Structures are given as structure tokens and as C-alpha cells.
Chains A and B, each alone.
Chain A
Amino acid sequence: MSQLAYVAPSSPEEAATALAATGARPLSGGTDLLVQLRAGRVKPDVIVDLKRVAGAIGIREEAGGYVIGGATSGAVLGEHVGLVRAWPGVVEGANLIGSTQVQGRASLAGNLCNASPAADGVPALIAARATCVIVGPNGRREAPVEAIATGPGQTSLSPGEFILEFRLPPRPARASDAYLRLIPRTEMDIAVAGVGVNLVLDAQGRVAQAHVALGAVAPTALLVAEAGAALVGGRLDEASLAAMEAAARAACRPISDKRGTANYRTRIAGVLARRAALIAFARAGGQL
């Protein structure tokens, strides 16, 4: 690491220019990057700290929806009363990452771009239909969260591009979300499976819109349109829950590892999808 330089630009454009250089690596919360540096898994020439970039940290409301700075820590997300009320699932996903100490640093953009299939911050963001504002050497573009990770450790971002912020859609009344994951112990572990469910109910309390996203059961987090569609039009009756579970399981393409076999992961994904849907439904004011 003898040549490792550190820069902390203040404008998005400067950051994109610095990141476009050969051997540049973005730093958000650092909870993955510093571990990788120490292990010698990455050997960058320059680290571009994005936390001083204008807009990279903070939560604001814009056009009726929340905008979350990409480098905002999990701790800050969890303390934001309005965000927790509107998007409890998004926040509980982010807040499941690591310890209190890790929460003081870990960010959603870092979690997404580290591109672990088991990233806890990602499924609820996908289910929320969140988009990323991406800044790069050629300007800005917007992309859905599910378009970022392309495989373990791989993203669709071009050299110089980084996620400045996430945009969450406006939240109507009678809407809520939930994220559940299973780990082999009670804290500080990596998901065997994780599921985010986002529901919008109509005036009669029936599901008007439903989005279901799965983590840790494929090379990337998955948006399972069939699982969401199975819930629409009802009040989470047994038939629609069973159809949703079946659709979620059908989408799973997991690996077997020390945390669980492929069969177990697939089974658990269905169980978590059902439970997360019931939690989101109750949070949205739904009556079974």
C-alpha cells in the first residue's frame, strides 16, 4: 500500500474525475473496503472518499419522496423518524448490517456496490422501487437499484461512476414495507436468506401494489414480479400467500455453503416472504 493516496473531493464532478483514474477505488463507510485492503484483496492507487461530496450524506424530502445520500450511515437512517415511519423495511434492512460500530459507518451505496448477494440493505430498497442517482464523468443518470449489482462483487457502474443518492417514490396512505432475514445466530452474521416486501393498499384495504425482493438466494438480489402479483387484489388470504411463497421459491437459484444448503435457502426464502408480507400488511393498516 506504499503508493496509496487519499482524496476527499467536495463536489460530485470532482469525485467522478478522481474515480475515473486507473487504480481508483471509492470509499463510503469503509466497512468492506478497509477489510479488503488489509487482506490485500484490493490494491488501489488512490482512495476517493465520497463522504465529503455535497449530497452524499443526509436525508431530505423532495417531490413527495425521500432522497437518501448514498454514504449516509445506517445509524443516521435509524434515527430519522419520518423515514422510519414511511419505509420501516428499508431502514430495518440497513440497520441489520453489522454491529453498532459498523452502523456508525456502513452505508446503503457501499452495501449495494460491494455487491454481496447477501447484502441486507438491498432487497427492501429494490422492493421499494428505489432508484439510484449515478454521477460519472459523462454526467448523471438514474437507474433502478436492481440494475446495479450484476454478480458477486460486480456492478454495472462504469469507471468513474458512483451512487450519489437513492430516491424513494412518494408514499401514499395505507402503504408500508418490511425486511426479514435469517442468520444462524441472533446478531452479527450474514443472511442465509433475506426478503423485502413493499405493499400499497387501496381504500378497501386490499393490496393494490406489491413488490417482493429476495436476497442471498441468487448471484444478485432478485425482484420477483410473480410473487408481488400473487398478492394483488386480496387481503393476504391463504391462497394468495401460498401462491406468493411458491413464486418466491421458484425464483431462487442459491448456492449451498456453511450457512445453509440450496434447498434450505429456498424453503426459508418462502417462509420469510410470507412473514414479511404479513408484517408489511399490518404496518400498512391492513386487516386480515
Chain B
Amino acid sequence: MSKAHVTTTVNGDPVEFLATPGMTLLDALRDELNLTGAKEGCGSGDCGACSVTVDGRLVCSCLVLAPEVEGRRVTTIEGMAQGGQLHMLQQKFLEHAALQCGFCTPGFLVAAKALLDVNPDPTETETRYWLAGNLCRCTGYDKIIRAVMDAAAELRQEKIA
């Protein structure tokens, strides 16, 4: 069984790992790099629990083969809080109780951050469509949407100040 040697960047850190044949990026993050924030919900790109970015682009890591990220920049939920300080989205998810079981939360946070990176002032409709690929079976989504809208407003204020 031949393993592929993969060199890439995860959350700004250079990393190397050996990818077994057919290994997905999600498998590599969780099993090789011990970054277990990204979750496997469906394994078929339907639920968004494994959301990460590759070269800044939001993707499902279950739909990426591990060797594909050779030389790319990967960011995961583990890269969101900076020096122990929660990202505004994380803070607002706590304040709005935008999670119950928490399984979908890393995916929602990564996806929501990708939205605010390209659109700091999204409408609620834009936010709901952007997050349509992230499934939550607990909250009914309203609290998640409120948390994202509140975080966006707060981040805009910070920028002005």
C-alpha cells in the first residue's frame, strides 16, 4: 500500500503527513494531525460539519482528497480563536446560545467566517443562503442566524472604532 507524502500549511503552520490511498482531507485533519474540530456528519458534502477553507475557499473537507492540499493553505476551526481570545462569531454563538449538541458548530463557525470575510454586511437572506449547506438538527437555525448577524454588526463597529 503506497502512502503519499503531503506537505501543506494548516492554520499558518507548515505540516507534513502520510496520506493512505483514498484518505480525505477530513480524515487527515482528524486522524493524522489530531485536529478534531472538523466533524464527519454525512461524509458526502451535504451537512457542512467538516467545513474548512483551502486557499481561502470554503469547502467540505470530506469531499477533498488529502493529497490535493499539497502546497495549499488550509484553515480549520482550530485556527479561529487567536491566542486564547475567541473570535467574535464564537463569542456571539455563546451569547445567543446558538448551539445545543455542538456537533455542527465548528462547521457553522468556519462557514460564517468565510461569509463575513467576503461580505461584512450580509442580509439575513444572504446569510441563510450562504449557510444552506450547514445542517443543524438542534437549534432550528434562528439562534445561529441571530448570532451571525450580531457578530457581523459588532465586527463592523470594531472596524469603525
> Residues of A with Cβ closer than 8 Å to B?
1-6, 8, 27, 29-31, 34-35, 37-39, 47, 49, 51, 73, 75, 98-102, 104-105, 187-188
Contact = CB atoms under 8 A, between A and B. Distances in A.
Interface of B: 1-2, 4, 19, 21-22, 24, 43-46, 48, 51, 54, 57-60, 62-65, 67-68, 70, 111, 114-115, 129-134
A98 B133 contact: yes
B64 A75 contact: no
14 contacts: A3-B1, A3-B21, A29-B63, A38-B43, A47-B65, A51-B68, A73-B57, A98-B133, A99-B48, A99-B132, A101-B63, A102-B63, A188-B132, A188-B133
Given A34-B63, A49-B68, A188-B133, 19 more contacts: A1-B22, A2-B1, A2-B21, A6-B65, A8-B67, A31-B63, A34-B24, A34-B45, A34-B65, A39-B44, A99-B45, A100-B111, A100-B130, A101-B60, A104-B54, A105-B63, A187-B129, A187-B132, A188-B46
B58 to A, nearest CB: 5
B59 A105 contact: yes
Given A2-B21, A4-B21, A49 B59 contact: no
B129 A104 contact: no
B62 to A, nearest CB: 7
A27 B111 contact: no
Contact of A35 (B2, B59, B63, B111): B63
B51 A1 contact: no
A38 B44 contact: yes
